[in-house]
């Protein structure tokens, strides 16, 4: 075996001779151990399987890697290369690496110890990093009698200061992980908080409440810098572990955010002085959890023009946001038709518009409805709160275009729209020419516009758009539910028929969004859905592996195997429930987008025969990328009762 940095090789020590409970295999007395410790002055280093990168031997009964840090530290393990033969899905039968991350004593594995992970396969099958709860961690490497040509593993370790992961709030006495954060002259105005045991995995079956109470003139801003619960391509209705953010002090308050998979740099702002973050974990295989920051900020402090010259227009109670006018002499001497307005001075206009000052209003290009000056550069920043999304509806659009392809905006005056995802600003569309853009909606509470009027002409009027901070995602039908960020109920007792659509229809739907449409008929009724338009980005089988958005149908709150997911561009089709309840779930990722769907619903007697369902037959499906696919579905029964 090769020598490794910062290690001691040793034969069996006493603490590895005991059995492990719960049906787990015993730690063999023949174990060899490799010991990494911070007492020798090393806070980082590497570890590897025997003879790496050459193939490891079979019949390795037990090789232990023991990492022991100081009492004020935790252990971080990162596999850089991993290639361990996988003969069974659960990894425990065959070659594997067991990770013991929640040890109570200094690296001791005893009859009360249980492993946190069993690892095999390739690097993509593993968690990105492993962390101990305390100051020690142990890996156990085992191979069976089957020969293999797998190279094993190589990784790095670090000893981290555990004080980096201490929550700044006050722990509620008698609870496992409830904290309160109160704004006062004697408390922090901002800080950090974590799920229990972060950065290691949180305990199974835990329920944690983080309550934030600001002063009356303040609001709460929370940013989930990193959130990792479970991997998988299912909706939050089916998740056992979920983080919900309530816009108030109690769990009955409206849910403004719900995360059940992975998220980065997710920002949430309260509408009032109270906010509640709840972690509910019921899965037997917990995830890593989250690290987040909070800040108590004065309401309206950031409502100002980025350009101080615009403060007067921002305070206009009519909420008509006008940018600077150029001098009248320039307007009286416009350029010739089609010529650049080069005689005008450059105009820079940056505006910040928040929902605290008003829920709707109008924005326009400089000088609108007169021609905008050349060399105009204007930025419009929108900031909402709670579950608000920013929606823009254009009333007029007339920008200078050099001719040729009307959709070529690179060399013409243009308006660019940006959304904010995972801490980055990403362009979702560019508008130019004279075609009126479809409605635009933000993916979160922020939206940015950038107007570049570089050329102009006497014949252009610029643009005008109506903006609104809306909580209904642009969905005007159904009754919105407070228990979901985007959930709508359609009840037969309120309307026997009507319409429903994707968020922001007929414009592009927002990214990273999940919406539920819940249909409730009277006893003896079922619901009939007719989709008149369908354009949801993706390809069969409409899963995460193909980066697909999807629409899912179910007679239950859980997934119904009877129905396949739908995505792509489809002609009109019909779907009918089996009983009085039915669920339609729309989910988009953070990649591409489409114009969504529109349909009608009708509650009808259950005794009427079912109409043709496209899921029961072959259906030609065209993705938004233009591929033609064939769907062949095998019907199965399953799911929990609603």
280-324 pLDDT, tens per residue?
A: 999 988 999 999 999 999 987 444 434 433 433 333 334 666 555
When pLDDT is cut at 50, 70 and 90, the band that residue 635 belongs to is: very low
Q: What is the pLDDT of residue 634?
A: 34
When pLDDT is cut at 50, 70 and 90, the band that residue 42 belongs to is: confident
Q: What is the pLDDT of residue 615?
A: 44
Q: What is the pLDDT of residue 309?
A: 39
Q: What is the mean pLDDT of residues 15-42?
A: 57
Residues pairing with 55 in the sheet: none
Q: Is 518 helix (H, G, I), strand (E, B) or coil?
A: strand
Written in H, E and C, the secondary structure of 407-437 is CCCCCCCEEEEEEEECCEEEEEEEECCCCCC
When pLDDT is cut at 50, 70 and 90, the band that residue 29 belongs to is: low
**106 vs 70: CA distance, rounded Å:** 9
Pick the CATH number of 166-298 from 2.60.120.290, 1.20.1250.40, 1.10.357.10, 3.90.1300.10: 2.60.120.290
pTM of the model: 0.83
Category of 390 on φ-ψ map: left (φ > 0), alpha (ψ -120 to 50) or beta: beta
Q: What is the pLDDT of residue 404?
A: 74
Pick the CATH number of 479-631 from 3.40.50.2300, 3.40.50.12280, 2.60.120.290, 3.30.1360.80: 2.60.120.290
**53 vs 61: CA distance, rounded Å:** 20
Residue ranges per structural domain of the chain: 8-163, 166-298, 308-470, 479-631
| In the predicted structure, residue 342 carries a pLDDT above the cut 80 | no
Q: What is the pLDDT of residue 30?
A: 57
Q: What is the pLDDT of residue 330?
A: 35
Q: What is the mean pLDDT of residues 357-369?
A: 95
| In the predicted structure, residue 57 carries a pLDDT above the cut 90 | yes
Q: What is the pLDDT of residue 610?
A: 66
**Which residue has better confidence, 325 or 291?**
291
* The two domains 166-298 and 479-631 share their CATH topology (first three levels equal): yes
Category of 133 on φ-ψ map: left (φ > 0), alpha (ψ -120 to 50) or beta: alpha
When pLDDT is cut at 50, 70 and 90, the band that residue 431 belongs to is: very high
**533 vs 569: CA distance, rounded Å:** 9
Nearest to 557 by CA among 235, 260, 281, 255: 235
Q: Per mean pLDDT, which range of 28-37, 484-493, 541-550 is the poorest?
A: 28-37
Q: What is the mean pLDDT of residues 345-370?
A: 90
Write the pLDDT tens digit of every residue in 85-127.
999 888 998 999 999 999 976 667 766 678 999 999 999 999 8
Phi, psi at 545, each rounded to 5°: -65, -25
Q: What is the mean pLDDT of residues 24-48?
A: 75
Place of tokens 């095998």: 634
Other C-beta atoms closer than 10 Å to the C-beta of 491 total: 15
Q: What is the pLDDT of residue 571?
A: 94
Domain 308-470 belongs to what topology?
Jelly Rolls (2.60.120)
The dihedral sign for the CA sequence 245, 248, 249, 250: negative
Mean pLDDT of the chain: 85
Continuous segment of H or E residues that includes residue 218: strand 218-228
| In the predicted structure, residue 339 carries a pLDDT above the cut 90 | no
8-163 architecture in CATH?
Sandwich (2.60)
**Which residue has better confidence, 347 or 499?**
499
Q: What is the pLDDT of residue 592?
A: 85
Write the pLDDT tens digit of every residue in 504-537.
999 999 999 999 999 999 999 999 999 999 999 9
Alpha helices (H) in 475-516, listed in sequence order: none
When pLDDT is cut at 50, 70 and 90, the band that residue 16 belongs to is: very low
Write the pLDDT tens digit of every residue in 136-156.
999 999 999 998 899 999 999
Q: Which pair of structure tokens corresponds to residue 336?
A: 């010739």
**383 vs 390: CA distance, rounded Å:** 8
Structural contact between residues 203 and 280, judged by C-beta atoms closer than 8 angstroms: no
Q: What is the pLDDT of residue 642?
A: 54
Structural contact between residues 447 and 388, judged by C-beta atoms closer than 8 angstroms: no
| In the predicted structure, residue 344 carries a pLDDT above the cut 50 | no
Q: What is the pLDDT of residue 637?
A: 37
Q: What is the pLDDT of residue 370?
A: 94
Structural contact between residues 191 and 102, judged by C-beta atoms closer than 8 angstroms: no
Q: What is the pLDDT of residue 233?
A: 83
């Amino acid at each position: 075996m090769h020598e490794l940095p910062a290690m001691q090789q040793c034969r069996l020590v006493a603490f590895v001779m005991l059995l492990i409970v719960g049906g787990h295999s015993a730690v063999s007395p023949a174990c060899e151990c490799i010991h990494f410790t911070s007492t020798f002055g090393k806070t980082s280093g590497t570890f590897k399987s025997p003879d790496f990168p050459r193939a490891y031997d079979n019949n390795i009964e037990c090789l232990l890697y023991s990492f022991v840090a100081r009492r004020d530290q935790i252990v971080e393990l990162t596999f850089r290369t991993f290639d361990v033969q996988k003969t069974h899905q659960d990894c425990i039968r065959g070659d594997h690496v067991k990770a013991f991350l929640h040890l109570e004593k200094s690296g001791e594995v005893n009859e009360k110890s249980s492993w946190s992970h069993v690892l095999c396969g390739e690097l993509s099958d593993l968690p990105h990093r492993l962390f101990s709860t305390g100051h020690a961690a142990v890996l156990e490497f085992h191979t069976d009698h089957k020969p293999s040509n797998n190279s094993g593993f190589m990784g790095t370790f670090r000893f981290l200061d555990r004080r980096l992961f201490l929550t700044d709030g006050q722990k509620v006495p008698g609870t496992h992980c409830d904290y309160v954060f109160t704004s006062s002259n004697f408390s922090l105005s901002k800080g950090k908080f974590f799920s229990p045991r972060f950065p290691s995995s949180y305990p199974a079956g835990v329920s944690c409440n983080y309550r934030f109470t600001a002063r009356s003139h303040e609001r709460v801003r929370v940013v989930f810098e990193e959130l990792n619960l479970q991997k998988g391509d299912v909706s939050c209705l089916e998740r056992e572990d979920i983080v919900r953010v309530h816009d108030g002090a109690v769990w009955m308050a409206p849910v403004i955010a719900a995360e059940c998979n992975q998220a980065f740099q997710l920002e949430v702002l309260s509408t009032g002085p109270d906010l509640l973050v709840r972690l509910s974990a019921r899965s037997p295989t917990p995830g890593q959890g989250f690290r987040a920051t909070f800040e108590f900020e004065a309401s309206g402090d950031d409502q100002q023009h980025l350009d101080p010259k615009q403060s007067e227009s921002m305070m206009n109670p009519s909420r008509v946001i006008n940018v600077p006018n150029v001098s009248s002499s320039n307007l009286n001497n416009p350029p010739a038709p089609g010529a650049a307005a080069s005689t005008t001075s450059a105009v820079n206009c940056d505006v910040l518009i928040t929902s605290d000052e008003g829920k709707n209003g109008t924005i326009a290009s400089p000088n609108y409805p007169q021609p905008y000056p050349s060399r105009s550069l204007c930025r419009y920043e929108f900031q909402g709160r709670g579950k608000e999304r920013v929606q823009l509806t254009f009333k007029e659009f007339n920008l200078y275009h050099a001719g040729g392809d009307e959709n070529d905006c690179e060399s013409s005056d243009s308006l660019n729209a940006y959304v904010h995802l995972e801490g980055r600003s990403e362009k979702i569309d560019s508008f130019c020419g004279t075609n009126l853009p479809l409605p635009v909606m933000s993916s979160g509470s922020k939206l940015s516009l950038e107007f570049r009027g570089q050329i102009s002409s006497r014949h252009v009027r610029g643009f005008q758009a109506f903006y609104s901070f809306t909580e209904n995602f642009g969905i005007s039908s159904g009754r919105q539910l407070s228990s979901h960020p985007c959930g709508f109920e359609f009840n037969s007792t309120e309307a026997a028929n009507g319409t429903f659509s994707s968020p922001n229809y007929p414009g592009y739907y927002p990214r990273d969004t999940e919406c539920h449409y819940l249909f409730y008929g009277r006893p003896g009724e079922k619901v009939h859905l007719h989709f008149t338009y369908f354009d949801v980005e993706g390809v069969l089988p409409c899963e995460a592996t193909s980066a697909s958005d999807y629409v899912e149908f179910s007679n239950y709150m859980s997934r119904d195997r009877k129905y396949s997911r739908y995505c792509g561009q489809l002609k009109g089709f019909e779907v009918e429930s089996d009983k009085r309840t039915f669920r339609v779930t729309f989910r988009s990722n953070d990649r591409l987008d489409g114009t969504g769907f529109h349909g009608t619903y009708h509650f009808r007697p259950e005794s009427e025969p079912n109409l043709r369902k496209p899921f029961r037959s072959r259906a030609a499906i065209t993705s938004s990328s233009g591929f033609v696919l064939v769907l062949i579905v095998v019907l199965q029964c399953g799911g929990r009762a609603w």
